[in-house]
Amino acid sequence: MTTQIEGTKREFIDLRIPMPWGFIVGRWYGNRNVRPILALHGWLDNMGTWNTLIPLLPEHLGILCIDLPGHGLSPKLPRGIVYHAVDYVCVILRIMDEYRWDKVSILAHSMSSMISFIFASLYSDRLDMLISIDIVRTRYRNPSTQISFIHNHIEKYLVEDDRLQLANQMEPPAYTREQLLQIMYEGTERSVSLENCHHILNRNITKSTKYPDKYYFSRDGRVKYYFEFTTSPPFAAELARKIRNVPYCVIKGSQSNFIDEQSDEVIEILKSNNPHFEFHEVEGTHHVHLNNPQEVAAILNPFIHKHRPPMAEDGVVGETMDQENAKARKRKSKL
């Protein structure tokens, strides 16, 4: 199977990755003989967020994109279960276990950049490359704001959980495709350009059975009220100190405020403790990788070639999947 993105063909295979509650869906682009880069999307988005960037990345490495639980075409979690950032950290570990990876390379955006920051601090020995788009730390809230946040999210989650039951009995409101594109454009505060909204929208909607020319949002509404891994500046600073000797590239969108002065301490710690840390700014919004993939790729390609280069003698990158699987089995036998 091949796909056509921005005029460039890149082979892929669609797959399901087993999880304790069922599965998540993935799409593996390119080389399947070596461990790929695991691509993780942002909040309320899906793997379509990488459509314009993937054709521009080095072809010696595959890219495994996933739809996180509740997003895109991945199934929803069972009713009564809340979405939490820690669960998404566990998804990374479960994918590694499924493919018997001893280490993982991650390409992340937004919410997943927060998740990957946590993962890097907890499992730096199992991470060999991290690329974060437009977020570099966990979110901070003062105690009173955090209490209000938790209360409101619980109440709204319960409403959405009840709606999930109703959705099995009646179809949600439907809209024309043009209306949905506009809704998404405004919903991202115009971070995703209107011409690029379809890349994400396509996996978030389902065709109406009542109205032949309309669609409805089919992602899990409960995801809107997922629980973040919220920290304080001292906590985030300590997390950053745990990340050493991990190739770590952060790209900020110039028009975005997701990386601001509150991120300075974490960035300085990463710079001082990690000789492989890079920070770059590229013209664009929070979805800079989707709207301006050429400039993002111009930074990422040298970084990827430096830290996961192709082997000159045979074109194979680092260890083959068989070699990595053998390492993983050996590590497990010691547990």
- In tens, the pLDDT along 157-212 reads 999 999 887 766 788 899 999 999 999 999 999 999 999 999 999 999 999 999 98
What is the residue-averaged pLDDT of the chain?
91
Which of 56, 73, 72 minimizes the C-alpha distance to 107? 56
Please tell me whether residue 127 adopts helix, strand or coil conformation.
Answer: strand
Q: Which of 105, 110, 112, 256 is catalytic?
A: 110
Please give the DSSP secondary-structure letter assigned to residue 67. P
Distance CA 253, CA 124 (A): 26
∠ CA 184-227-121, nearest 5°, is 105
pLDDT at position 212 is 87
Task: Respond yes or no: is residue 124 known to be catalytic.
Answer: no
d(CA 118, CA 85): 9
Write out the E strands in the chain.
2-5, 8-19, 22-29, 37-40, 63-66, 104-109, 127-133, 205-207, 215-217, 248-253, 277-282
Query: What value, to the nearest 5°, has the Cα angle with vertex 56 and ends 40 and 177?
Result: 65
What CA–CA distance (Å, rounded) separates 144 from 335?
A: 42
What does the DSSP 8-state code read for residue 313?
T
- For the four alpha carbons of 107, 113, 117 and 122, in that order, the dihedral sign comes to negative
* Rounded Cα–Cα distance for residues 310 and 318 (Å): 7
Domain 12-142+229-309 sits in CATH 3.40.50.1820: yes
pLDDT of 27-65, one tens digit each?
A: 999 999 999 999 999 999 999 999 999 999 999 999 999
Phi-psi region of 328 (alpha: psi -120 to 50; beta: other; left: phi over 0): alpha
The pLDDT of residue 181 is 97
pTM comes to 0.90
Per-residue pLDDT reduced to its tens digit, 60-87? 999 999 999 999 999 999 999 999 999 9
Banded pLDDT at 312 (limits 50, 70, 90): very low
What residues does each domain of the chain span? 12-142+229-309
